[in-house]
Chain A
Protein backbone atom coordinates (compact mmCIF):
# COMPACT_ATOMS: atom_id res chain seq x y z
CA UNK A 1 0.00 0.00 0.00
CA UNK A 2 1.45 3.33 -0.99
CA UNK A 3 1.91 5.62 1.97
CA UNK A 4 -0.56 8.46 1.97
CA UNK A 5 0.53 11.61 3.69
CA UNK A 6 -1.32 14.87 3.94
CA UNK A 7 -0.76 18.36 2.69
CA UNK A 8 -1.88 21.20 4.94
CA UNK A 9 -3.07 24.67 4.11
CA UNK A 10 -3.04 27.03 7.06
CA UNK A 11 -4.75 30.40 6.93
CA UNK A 12 -5.01 31.98 10.35
CA UNK A 13 -6.42 35.49 10.28
CA UNK A 14 -6.09 36.02 13.98
CA UNK A 15 -5.54 34.12 17.20
CA UNK A 16 -5.99 36.03 20.44
CA UNK A 17 -5.64 34.97 24.03
CA UNK A 18 -8.16 36.71 26.24
CA UNK A 19 -5.47 37.36 28.84
CA UNK A 20 -5.61 37.03 32.58
CA UNK A 21 -6.88 39.60 35.04
CA UNK A 22 -4.60 42.62 34.95
CA UNK A 23 -3.22 41.95 31.48
CA UNK A 24 -5.01 42.80 28.27
CA UNK A 25 -5.69 40.34 25.48
CA UNK A 26 -2.63 39.16 23.55
CA UNK A 27 -2.60 38.54 19.82
CA UNK A 28 -0.42 35.49 19.22
CA UNK A 29 -0.84 35.05 15.46
CA UNK A 30 -2.11 37.37 12.74
CA UNK A 31 -2.33 36.85 9.00
CA UNK A 32 -0.40 33.62 9.02
CA UNK A 33 -0.45 31.76 5.69
CA UNK A 34 1.43 28.55 5.03
CA UNK A 35 1.20 25.49 2.82
CA UNK A 36 2.98 22.30 3.73
CA UNK A 37 3.29 19.67 1.03
CA UNK A 38 2.73 15.93 1.42
CA UNK A 39 5.69 14.19 3.07
CA UNK A 40 7.45 17.51 3.45
CA UNK A 41 9.69 18.07 6.46
CA UNK A 42 8.84 21.64 7.34
CA UNK A 43 10.63 23.42 10.17
CA UNK A 44 9.07 26.47 11.81
CA UNK A 45 11.39 28.85 13.55
CA UNK A 46 11.21 32.33 15.01
CA UNK A 47 11.81 34.33 18.18
CA UNK A 48 10.41 32.98 21.42
CA UNK A 49 6.82 33.96 22.08
CA UNK A 50 6.01 34.30 18.38
CA UNK A 51 3.23 31.72 18.56
CA UNK A 52 4.98 28.58 17.31
CA UNK A 53 3.38 26.32 19.90
CA UNK A 54 0.04 28.05 19.38
CA UNK A 55 0.28 27.22 15.67
CA UNK A 56 0.89 23.54 16.40
CA UNK A 57 -1.98 23.40 18.90
CA UNK A 58 -4.32 24.91 16.32
CA UNK A 59 -3.27 22.37 13.67
CA UNK A 60 -3.58 19.56 16.23
CA UNK A 61 -7.16 20.62 16.94
CA UNK A 62 -6.41 21.33 20.60
CA UNK A 63 -7.22 25.00 20.11
CA UNK A 64 -10.31 25.78 18.05
CA UNK A 65 -10.75 29.34 19.26
CA UNK A 66 -9.21 31.23 16.31
CA UNK A 67 -10.27 33.11 13.20
CA UNK A 68 -9.19 31.35 10.02
CA UNK A 69 -9.24 28.02 8.26
CA UNK A 70 -7.29 24.80 8.18
CA UNK A 71 -7.30 22.58 5.12
CA UNK A 72 -6.05 19.04 4.76
CA UNK A 73 -5.54 17.37 1.40
CA UNK A 74 -6.43 14.86 0.07
CA UNK A 75 -9.83 15.91 1.27
CA UNK A 76 -10.82 12.48 2.56
CA UNK A 77 -8.20 13.29 5.16
CA UNK A 78 -10.51 15.65 6.97
CA UNK A 79 -9.30 14.14 10.19
CA UNK A 80 -5.72 13.15 9.56
CA UNK A 81 -4.01 10.95 12.11
CA UNK A 82 -1.79 13.30 14.02
CA UNK A 83 1.20 12.27 16.13
CA UNK A 84 2.18 15.07 18.49
CA UNK A 85 5.57 15.17 20.20
CA UNK A 86 5.44 17.81 22.90
CA UNK A 87 8.20 19.90 24.42
CA UNK A 88 8.17 17.67 27.48
CA UNK A 89 7.57 13.96 26.84
CA UNK A 90 4.12 13.95 28.56
CA UNK A 91 4.21 10.23 29.26
CA UNK A 92 1.75 8.75 31.73
CA UNK A 93 3.92 8.15 34.82
CA UNK A 94 1.66 5.31 36.02
CA UNK A 95 1.97 3.29 32.83
CA UNK A 96 5.04 1.41 31.61
CA UNK A 97 6.88 2.38 28.44
CA UNK A 98 5.09 -0.33 26.47
CA UNK A 99 1.68 0.63 27.89
CA UNK A 100 2.31 4.29 27.09
CA UNK A 101 2.99 3.50 23.45
CA UNK A 102 0.26 0.87 23.08
CA UNK A 103 -2.34 3.13 24.66
CA UNK A 104 -2.63 5.51 21.70
CA UNK A 105 -3.23 2.78 19.14
CA UNK A 106 -6.88 2.70 18.31
CA UNK A 107 -6.84 -0.86 17.10
CA UNK A 108 -4.58 -3.08 19.09
CA UNK A 109 -1.68 -3.52 16.70
CA UNK A 110 0.10 -6.82 16.31
CA UNK A 111 2.39 -7.17 19.33
CA UNK A 112 5.33 -7.80 16.99
CA UNK A 113 4.82 -4.41 15.31
CA UNK A 114 4.81 -2.68 18.68
CA UNK A 115 7.96 -4.47 19.79
CA UNK A 116 9.75 -3.63 16.56
CA UNK A 117 8.81 0.03 16.94
CA UNK A 118 10.19 0.02 20.49
CA UNK A 119 13.35 -1.63 19.18
CA UNK A 120 13.62 0.92 16.34
CA UNK A 121 13.69 3.84 18.76
CA UNK A 122 16.05 1.98 21.08
CA UNK A 123 13.87 1.47 24.16
CA UNK A 124 13.18 -2.28 23.84
CA UNK A 125 15.21 -2.97 27.00
CA UNK A 126 13.16 -0.48 28.97
CA UNK A 127 9.74 -1.58 27.74
CA UNK A 128 8.58 -2.63 31.21
CA UNK A 129 10.06 0.37 33.04
CA UNK A 130 8.01 3.28 34.32
CA UNK A 131 8.81 6.76 32.94
CA UNK A 132 10.33 7.91 36.26
CA UNK A 133 13.12 5.39 35.70
CA UNK A 134 14.04 6.80 32.28
CA UNK A 135 16.67 9.39 31.41
CA UNK A 136 15.56 12.53 29.56
CA UNK A 137 16.76 11.14 26.24
CA UNK A 138 15.03 7.81 26.78
CA UNK A 139 11.74 9.49 27.70
CA UNK A 140 11.91 11.48 24.46
CA UNK A 141 12.53 8.30 22.48
CA UNK A 142 9.37 6.86 24.02
CA UNK A 143 7.43 10.02 23.14
CA UNK A 144 8.71 9.63 19.59
CA UNK A 145 7.66 5.97 19.50
CA UNK A 146 4.21 6.94 20.77
CA UNK A 147 3.80 9.48 17.98
CA UNK A 148 4.81 6.91 15.35
CA UNK A 149 2.67 4.19 16.94
CA UNK A 150 -0.48 5.55 15.32
CA UNK A 151 1.15 5.55 11.85
CA UNK A 152 0.63 9.30 11.64
CA UNK A 153 -0.21 11.17 8.44
CA UNK A 154 1.09 14.27 10.13
CA UNK A 155 3.74 14.61 12.79
CA UNK A 156 3.75 17.74 14.94
CA UNK A 157 6.91 18.32 16.94
CA UNK A 158 7.35 21.15 19.42
CA UNK A 159 11.05 21.58 20.25
CA UNK A 160 11.12 17.88 21.11
CA UNK A 161 14.87 17.74 21.74
CA UNK A 162 15.12 20.80 23.94
CA UNK A 163 17.22 20.52 27.11
CA UNK A 164 19.11 17.46 25.91
CA UNK A 165 22.88 17.61 25.65
CA UNK A 166 24.22 18.16 22.12
CA UNK A 167 25.28 14.57 21.51
CA UNK A 168 21.96 13.11 22.68
CA UNK A 169 20.02 15.64 20.61
CA UNK A 170 22.13 14.71 17.56
CA UNK A 171 21.39 11.02 18.03
CA UNK A 172 17.68 11.73 18.34
CA UNK A 173 17.69 13.86 15.20
CA UNK A 174 19.27 11.04 13.20
CA UNK A 175 16.77 8.64 14.72
CA UNK A 176 13.92 10.92 13.66
CA UNK A 177 15.22 11.16 10.07
CA UNK A 178 15.59 7.37 9.97
CA UNK A 179 12.04 6.87 11.23
CA UNK A 180 10.59 9.36 8.77
CA UNK A 181 12.39 7.68 5.87
CA UNK A 182 10.85 4.28 6.68
CA UNK A 183 7.48 5.51 7.95
CA UNK A 184 6.64 8.50 5.76
CA UNK A 185 4.72 11.39 7.26
CA UNK A 186 4.33 15.08 6.76
CA UNK A 187 6.32 16.78 9.52
CA UNK A 188 5.90 20.17 11.08
CA UNK A 189 8.80 20.72 13.43
CA UNK A 190 9.17 23.77 15.69
CA UNK A 191 12.58 24.85 16.94
CA UNK A 192 14.48 28.05 17.63
CA UNK A 193 17.81 26.32 17.02
CA UNK A 194 18.94 27.24 13.49
CA UNK A 195 21.49 24.42 13.26
CA UNK A 196 18.75 21.97 14.13
CA UNK A 197 16.42 23.59 11.60
CA UNK A 198 19.01 23.32 8.86
CA UNK A 199 19.91 19.74 9.74
CA UNK A 200 16.33 18.52 9.43
CA UNK A 201 14.35 20.71 7.09
CA UNK A 202 13.22 20.43 3.50
CA UNK A 203 12.00 23.95 4.00
CA UNK A 204 12.23 26.46 6.83
CA UNK A 205 9.43 28.87 7.69
CA UNK A 206 10.49 31.93 9.67
CA UNK A 207 7.88 33.59 11.86
CA UNK A 208 7.92 37.23 12.93
CA UNK A 209 7.82 38.32 16.57
CA UNK A 210 4.28 38.27 18.00
CA UNK A 211 1.77 38.49 16.48
CA UNK A 212 3.41 35.78 14.42
CA UNK A 213 3.15 35.44 10.66
CA UNK A 214 5.43 33.86 8.06
CA UNK A 215 8.07 36.42 7.07
CA UNK A 216 10.38 34.13 5.10
CA UNK A 217 10.54 30.71 3.53
CA UNK A 218 13.82 29.01 2.86
CA UNK A 219 13.98 25.73 0.97
CA UNK A 220 17.02 23.66 1.86
CA UNK A 221 18.03 21.76 -1.25
CA UNK A 222 21.23 20.27 0.14
CA UNK A 223 21.58 16.58 0.80
CA UNK A 224 21.34 15.97 4.53
CA UNK A 225 24.93 14.70 4.64
CA UNK A 226 26.29 18.04 3.41
CA UNK A 227 24.56 20.11 6.02
CA UNK A 228 27.10 19.73 8.76
CA UNK A 229 29.72 21.63 6.76
CA UNK A 230 30.47 24.77 8.84
CA UNK A 231 30.64 27.12 5.82
CA UNK A 232 27.32 25.98 4.42
CA UNK A 233 25.79 26.31 7.84
CA UNK A 234 27.02 29.85 8.44
CA UNK A 235 25.90 30.94 4.96
CA UNK A 236 22.40 29.62 5.64
CA UNK A 237 22.45 31.14 9.05
CA UNK A 238 23.34 34.53 7.57
CA UNK A 239 20.53 34.28 5.07
CA UNK A 240 18.05 33.33 7.75
CA UNK A 241 19.19 36.17 9.97
CA UNK A 242 18.74 38.60 7.06
CA UNK A 243 15.18 37.38 6.54
CA UNK A 244 14.29 37.63 10.18
CA UNK A 245 15.50 41.20 10.52
CA UNK A 246 14.18 42.65 7.30
CA UNK A 247 10.55 43.67 6.88
CA UNK A 248 8.27 40.90 5.66
CA UNK A 249 9.02 39.56 2.21
CA UNK A 250 5.98 38.97 0.10
CA UNK A 251 6.41 36.02 -2.18
CA UNK A 252 4.02 34.32 -4.46
Chain B
Protein backbone atom coordinates (compact mmCIF):
# COMPACT_ATOMS: atom_id res chain seq x y z
CA UNK B 1 0.00 0.00 0.00
CA UNK B 2 2.68 2.47 1.06
CA UNK B 3 4.75 1.31 -1.89
CA UNK B 4 1.90 2.12 -4.25
CA UNK B 5 1.56 5.65 -2.86
CA UNK B 6 5.29 6.19 -3.14
CA UNK B 7 5.18 4.98 -6.74
CA UNK B 8 2.32 7.34 -7.58
CA UNK B 9 4.24 10.26 -6.08
CA UNK B 10 7.30 9.32 -8.09
CA UNK B 11 5.28 9.17 -11.32
CA UNK B 12 3.69 12.54 -10.60
CA UNK B 13 7.10 14.11 -10.06
CA UNK B 14 8.21 12.63 -13.40
CA UNK B 15 5.14 13.96 -15.18
CA UNK B 16 5.84 17.62 -14.44
CA UNK B 17 9.11 17.92 -16.41
CA UNK B 18 7.68 15.75 -19.22
CA UNK B 19 4.72 18.09 -19.73
CA UNK B 20 6.96 21.16 -19.58
CA UNK B 21 9.29 19.58 -22.13
CA UNK B 22 6.47 18.70 -24.55
CA UNK B 23 5.08 22.24 -24.29
CA UNK B 24 8.48 23.81 -24.89
CA UNK B 25 9.16 21.66 -27.97
CA UNK B 26 5.70 22.45 -29.36
CA UNK B 27 6.48 26.14 -28.93
CA UNK B 28 9.97 25.87 -30.47
CA UNK B 29 8.80 23.83 -33.50
CA UNK B 30 12.37 22.86 -34.37
CA UNK B 31 14.01 19.65 -35.59
CA UNK B 32 16.71 20.42 -33.02
CA UNK B 33 14.27 20.41 -30.08
CA UNK B 34 12.13 17.25 -30.29
CA UNK B 35 9.46 16.58 -27.67
CA UNK B 36 9.31 13.57 -25.34
CA UNK B 37 6.84 11.66 -27.53
CA UNK B 38 9.17 11.76 -30.54
CA UNK B 39 12.18 10.89 -28.39
CA UNK B 40 10.43 7.92 -26.75
CA UNK B 41 9.42 6.59 -30.16
CA UNK B 42 13.05 6.85 -31.28
CA UNK B 43 14.18 5.19 -28.07
CA UNK B 44 11.93 2.19 -28.67
CA UNK B 45 12.96 1.95 -32.31
CA UNK B 46 16.68 2.13 -31.48
CA UNK B 47 16.29 -0.51 -28.79
CA UNK B 48 14.71 -2.94 -31.26
CA UNK B 49 16.42 -2.14 -34.57
CA UNK B 50 19.37 0.12 -33.73
CA UNK B 51 22.56 -0.20 -31.74
CA UNK B 52 21.21 1.13 -28.44
CA UNK B 53 21.40 -2.12 -26.50
CA UNK B 54 24.90 -2.90 -27.77
CA UNK B 55 26.19 0.55 -26.86
CA UNK B 56 24.44 0.54 -23.51
CA UNK B 57 25.87 -2.89 -22.73
CA UNK B 58 29.40 -1.81 -23.67
CA UNK B 59 29.18 1.25 -21.43
CA UNK B 60 27.72 -0.68 -18.50
CA UNK B 61 30.43 -3.32 -18.75
CA UNK B 62 33.10 -0.61 -18.58
CA UNK B 63 31.35 1.00 -15.61
CA UNK B 64 31.06 -2.32 -13.77
CA UNK B 65 34.70 -3.25 -14.26
CA UNK B 66 36.08 0.19 -13.41
CA UNK B 67 33.80 0.52 -10.39
CA UNK B 68 34.82 -2.85 -8.98
CA UNK B 69 38.52 -2.22 -9.55
CA UNK B 70 38.41 1.24 -7.99
CA UNK B 71 36.44 0.05 -4.94
CA UNK B 72 38.67 -2.93 -4.24
CA UNK B 73 42.00 -1.17 -4.79
CA UNK B 74 40.78 2.03 -3.12
CA UNK B 75 39.51 0.20 -0.03
CA UNK B 76 42.72 -1.73 0.43
CA UNK B 77 44.83 1.40 -0.06
CA UNK B 78 42.62 3.53 2.20
CA UNK B 79 42.71 1.08 5.09
CA UNK B 80 46.45 0.51 4.65
CA UNK B 81 47.09 4.24 4.73
CA UNK B 82 44.95 4.69 7.84
CA UNK B 83 46.83 1.96 9.68
CA UNK B 84 50.39 2.70 8.60
CA UNK B 85 51.85 6.14 9.01
CA UNK B 86 54.68 5.29 6.63
CA UNK B 87 52.31 4.23 3.85
CA UNK B 88 50.23 7.33 4.44
CA UNK B 89 53.23 9.61 4.04
CA UNK B 90 54.43 7.68 1.01
CA UNK B 91 51.16 7.68 -0.91
CA UNK B 92 49.42 10.85 0.24
CA UNK B 93 50.89 13.18 -2.40
CA UNK B 94 50.01 10.74 -5.14
CA UNK B 95 46.42 10.58 -3.94
CA UNK B 96 46.12 14.37 -3.75
CA UNK B 97 47.62 14.69 -7.23
CA UNK B 98 45.25 12.12 -8.71
CA UNK B 99 42.33 13.70 -6.86
CA UNK B 100 42.95 17.01 -8.61
CA UNK B 101 44.09 15.77 -12.01
CA UNK B 102 41.24 16.32 -14.52
CA UNK B 103 39.79 13.04 -15.79
CA UNK B 104 40.26 14.33 -19.34
CA UNK B 105 44.02 14.55 -18.84
CA UNK B 106 44.20 11.03 -17.41
CA UNK B 107 42.18 9.67 -20.34
CA UNK B 108 44.22 11.44 -23.02
CA UNK B 109 47.53 10.39 -21.49
CA UNK B 110 46.48 6.75 -21.14
CA UNK B 111 45.23 6.69 -24.75
CA UNK B 112 48.59 8.04 -25.88
CA UNK B 113 50.60 5.59 -23.82
CA UNK B 114 48.46 2.46 -24.20
CA UNK B 115 46.82 3.20 -27.56
CA UNK B 116 43.07 3.45 -28.11
CA UNK B 117 42.45 0.25 -26.16
CA UNK B 118 39.87 -1.09 -23.76
CA UNK B 119 42.54 -1.27 -21.05
CA UNK B 120 43.30 2.44 -21.45
CA UNK B 121 39.61 3.35 -21.26
CA UNK B 122 38.89 1.27 -18.17
CA UNK B 123 42.16 2.33 -16.59
CA UNK B 124 41.30 6.00 -17.06
CA UNK B 125 37.87 5.60 -15.46
CA UNK B 126 39.30 3.57 -12.58
CA UNK B 127 42.07 6.08 -11.90
CA UNK B 128 39.62 8.96 -11.88
CA UNK B 129 37.47 7.33 -9.21
CA UNK B 130 40.23 5.70 -7.19
CA UNK B 131 41.40 8.68 -5.10
CA UNK B 132 37.93 9.52 -3.73
CA UNK B 133 37.56 5.91 -2.58
CA UNK B 134 40.98 5.99 -0.93
CA UNK B 135 40.27 9.25 0.87
CA UNK B 136 36.80 8.18 2.08
CA UNK B 137 37.86 4.76 3.34
CA UNK B 138 40.98 6.19 4.96
CA UNK B 139 38.76 8.58 6.87
CA UNK B 140 36.50 5.71 7.91
CA UNK B 141 39.37 3.52 9.02
CA UNK B 142 40.83 6.38 11.05
CA UNK B 143 37.55 6.76 12.91
CA UNK B 144 37.35 3.13 14.00
CA UNK B 145 36.29 2.93 17.64
CA UNK B 146 39.22 2.01 19.92
CA UNK B 147 36.84 1.03 22.71
CA UNK B 148 35.11 -1.56 20.56
CA UNK B 149 38.47 -2.84 19.34
CA UNK B 150 39.53 -3.30 22.97
CA UNK B 151 36.28 -5.09 23.68
CA UNK B 152 36.91 -7.46 20.77
CA UNK B 153 40.44 -8.08 21.96
CA UNK B 154 39.56 -8.69 25.60
CA UNK B 155 36.87 -11.19 24.59
CA UNK B 156 39.40 -12.80 22.26
CA UNK B 157 37.15 -12.61 19.20
CA UNK B 158 39.95 -13.32 16.76
CA UNK B 159 40.70 -11.64 13.43
CA UNK B 160 37.79 -12.92 11.38
CA UNK B 161 34.98 -12.25 13.84
CA UNK B 162 36.46 -8.85 14.71
CA UNK B 163 36.55 -7.94 11.03
CA UNK B 164 33.05 -9.16 10.33
CA UNK B 165 31.20 -7.93 13.41
CA UNK B 166 33.25 -4.99 14.67
CA UNK B 167 35.30 -3.43 11.87
CA UNK B 168 33.29 -3.82 8.66
CA UNK B 169 30.01 -2.52 10.12
CA UNK B 170 31.87 0.65 11.09
CA UNK B 171 33.28 0.99 7.58
CA UNK B 172 29.97 0.22 5.83
CA UNK B 173 28.68 3.83 5.77
CA UNK B 174 31.98 5.03 4.29
CA UNK B 175 31.92 2.22 1.76
CA UNK B 176 28.42 3.25 0.77
CA UNK B 177 29.37 6.92 0.42
CA UNK B 178 32.38 5.94 -1.68
CA UNK B 179 30.15 3.75 -3.88
CA UNK B 180 27.65 6.51 -4.41
CA UNK B 181 29.90 9.46 -5.07
CA UNK B 182 32.18 7.19 -7.05
CA UNK B 183 29.37 5.88 -9.22
CA UNK B 184 28.10 9.40 -9.89
CA UNK B 185 31.62 10.33 -10.97
CA UNK B 186 32.01 7.24 -13.17
CA UNK B 187 28.72 7.81 -15.00
CA UNK B 188 30.04 11.19 -16.11
CA UNK B 189 33.60 10.23 -16.91
CA UNK B 190 32.92 7.03 -18.82
CA UNK B 191 31.10 8.88 -21.61
CA UNK B 192 33.99 11.29 -22.11
CA UNK B 193 36.46 8.41 -22.24
CA UNK B 194 34.33 6.57 -24.82
CA UNK B 195 33.91 9.71 -26.88
CA UNK B 196 37.67 10.14 -27.03
CA UNK B 197 38.79 6.69 -28.05
CA UNK B 198 36.29 3.84 -28.22
CA UNK B 199 34.33 2.51 -31.22
CA UNK B 200 31.18 1.79 -29.21
CA UNK B 201 29.33 2.78 -26.05
CA UNK B 202 26.91 5.58 -25.24
CA UNK B 203 29.70 8.17 -25.29
CA UNK B 204 30.73 7.14 -28.80
CA UNK B 205 27.10 7.22 -29.98
CA UNK B 206 26.60 10.71 -28.55
CA UNK B 207 29.60 11.90 -30.55
CA UNK B 208 28.19 10.44 -33.77
CA UNK B 209 24.79 12.03 -33.21
CA UNK B 210 26.47 15.32 -32.44
CA UNK B 211 28.24 15.25 -35.80
CA UNK B 212 24.94 14.41 -37.53
CA UNK B 213 23.01 16.98 -35.47
CA UNK B 214 20.59 14.11 -34.71
CA UNK B 215 19.14 15.49 -31.48
CA UNK B 216 16.30 12.97 -31.27
CA UNK B 217 18.61 10.00 -31.08
CA UNK B 218 21.10 11.91 -28.95
CA UNK B 219 18.47 12.53 -26.27
CA UNK B 220 17.08 9.00 -26.64
CA UNK B 221 20.51 7.47 -25.90
CA UNK B 222 21.08 9.84 -23.00
CA UNK B 223 17.68 8.97 -21.54
CA UNK B 224 18.35 5.25 -21.77
CA UNK B 225 21.58 5.83 -19.89
CA UNK B 226 19.88 7.94 -17.21
CA UNK B 227 17.20 5.26 -16.79
CA UNK B 228 19.88 2.68 -16.01
CA UNK B 229 21.50 5.03 -13.49
CA UNK B 230 18.17 5.52 -11.74
CA UNK B 231 17.47 1.79 -11.65
CA UNK B 232 20.84 1.23 -9.98
CA UNK B 233 20.18 4.05 -7.51
CA UNK B 234 16.64 2.97 -6.55
CA UNK B 235 17.05 -0.74 -7.01
CA UNK B 236 20.47 -1.32 -5.48
CA UNK B 237 21.98 1.61 -3.58
CA UNK B 238 18.96 2.89 -1.69
CA UNK B 239 17.75 -0.55 -0.48
CA UNK B 240 21.32 -1.33 0.56
CA UNK B 241 21.49 1.92 2.50
CA UNK B 242 18.23 1.15 4.31
CA UNK B 243 19.44 -2.32 5.16
CA UNK B 244 22.69 -1.02 6.60
CA UNK B 245 20.88 1.65 8.65
CA UNK B 246 18.42 -0.83 10.19
CA UNK B 247 19.99 -0.65 13.64
CA UNK B 248 19.88 3.13 13.88
CA UNK B 249 17.05 4.53 15.91
Residues of A within 8 A of B (CB): 57, 60-62, 82-84, 86, 88, 90, 92-95, 103-104, 106, 130-133, 146, 150, 156
* Closest-CB distance, B165 to chain A (whole angstroms): 6
B134-178 with Cβ < 8 A to chain A: 147-148, 150-151, 153-157, 161, 165-166, 169
B85: interface (CB < 8 Å): no
The docked-state distance in angstroms from the alpha carbon of A131 to that of B248 is 9
Question: Do A95 and B165 touch across chains, with their CB atoms under 8 A apart?
Answer: yes
Whether the pair A103, B157 counts as a contact (CB closer than 8 A) is yes
Min Cβ gap A34→B in Å is: 20
Q: Does any Cβ of A come within 8 Å of B249's Cβ? A: yes
B153 contacts across to A, CB distance below 8 A: 61-62
What string of 1s and 0s marks CB contacts (under 8 Å) between B27-60 and chain A?
A: 0000000000000000000000000000000000
Q: Is the CB of B151 within 8 A of A84?
A: yes
Instruction: Give A131 to B150 CA distance when docked, in angstroms.
Output: 18
Given A103-B157, A132-B248; 10 other pairs, CB 8 A cutoff: A60-B154, A82-B154, A82-B155, A83-B155, A84-B155, A88-B147, A92-B166, A94-B169, A104-B155, A156-B154
A150 and B155 within 8 A (CB): yes
Q: Is the CB of B249 within 8 A of A132?
A: yes
Contact, CB under 8 Å: B150 / A92: no
- B113 at interface, CB cutoff 8 A: no
On whether the beta carbons of A133 and B151 are closer than 8 Å, the reply is no
Whether A90 lies near B148 (C-beta < 8 A) is yes
The answer to whether A92 and B147 have CB atoms under 8 Å apart is no
A-B contact pairs, 10 of them (CB 8 A): A61-B153, A90-B147, A90-B150, A92-B166, A93-B247, A93-B248, A94-B247, A103-B157, A132-B248, A132-B249
- In the complex, chain B residues whose CB is within 8 Å of the CB of A61: 153-154
Tell me the minimal C-beta distance from B66 to chain A in angstroms: 30
Residue of A88, A90, A94 most packed against chain B (CB within 10 A): A94
Contact with A along B219-247 (1 / 0, CB 8 A): 00000000000000000000000000011
Docked Cα-Cα span, A57 to B149, in Å, equals 13
- Return A32 CB to nearest CB of chain B, in Å: 20
A16–B128 Cα distance when bound, in Å, is 47
CB nearest to A88 among chain B residues: B147
Would B249 and A133 count as touching, CB distance under 8 A?
A: yes
Which residues of the other chain, B, contact A94 by a CB distance below 8 angstroms?
169, 246-247
**Which of chain A's residues have a CB closer than 8 A to the CB of B249?**
130, 132-133
Distance between Cα atoms of A133 and B249 in the complex (Å): 7
Q: Are B247 and A130 in contact (CB under 8 A)?
A: yes
Give Cα A246–Cα B188 distance, bound, in whole angstroms.
74
CA distance A83 to B156 in the complex (A): 10
Chain B residue nearest to A149 (CB atoms) is B155
Complex contacts, A156 vs chain B, CB 8 Å = 154
**B166 touching A104 by the CB < 8 A rule?**
no
> In the complex, what residues of A have CB within 8 A of residue B247's CB?
93-95, 130-132
Contact A92 B169, CB 8 Å, known A132-B247, A132-B248:
yes
Residues of A near B166 (CB, < 8 A) are: 92
Minimal Cβ-Cβ distance residue in B for A133? B249
Q: Given the complex of chains A and B, what is the CA–CA distance between A146 and B155 in angstroms?
A: 9
Please state if A92 and B154 are interface contacts (CB–CB under 8 Å): no
**CA separation between A132 and B246, bound complex, in Å?**
11
Q: Which residues of A contact B157 (CB under 8 A)?
A: 103-104
Among candidates A57, A60, A92, A132, residue contacting B148 with C-beta atoms closer than 8 Å? A92
Looking at the assembled complex, report how far the CB atom of A63 sits from the nearest CB atom of chain B, in whole angstroms. 9
A113 to B248, CA, bound (A): 29
Q: Give the distance to chain B from A54, nearest Cβ to Cβ, in Å.
A: 13
Taken together as a complex, chains A and B put the C-alpha atoms of A83 and B155 apart, in Å, by: 7
Chain A residues, Cβ within 8 Å of B169: 92, 94
Q: For the complex, give the distance between the alpha carbons of A156 and B188 in Å.
A: 55
For B155, what are the chain A residues with a Cβ–Cβ distance below 8 Å?
82-84, 104, 146, 150
- Report yes or no: A103 in contact with B248, Cβ–Cβ below 8 A: no
Residues in A with CB closer than 8 Å to B151 are 84, 86, 90
Instruction: Please name all residues of chain B whose beta carbon is closer than 8 Å to the beta carbon of A146 when the two chains form the complex.
Output: 155
CA–CA, A136 to B166, complex, Å? 21
Residues of A with C-beta under 8 A to B150? 57, 62, 86, 90
By a CB distance below 8 angstroms, the chain B residues around A103 are 157, 161, 165
Please give me the residue from chain B that is nearest to A81 by CB atom: B156
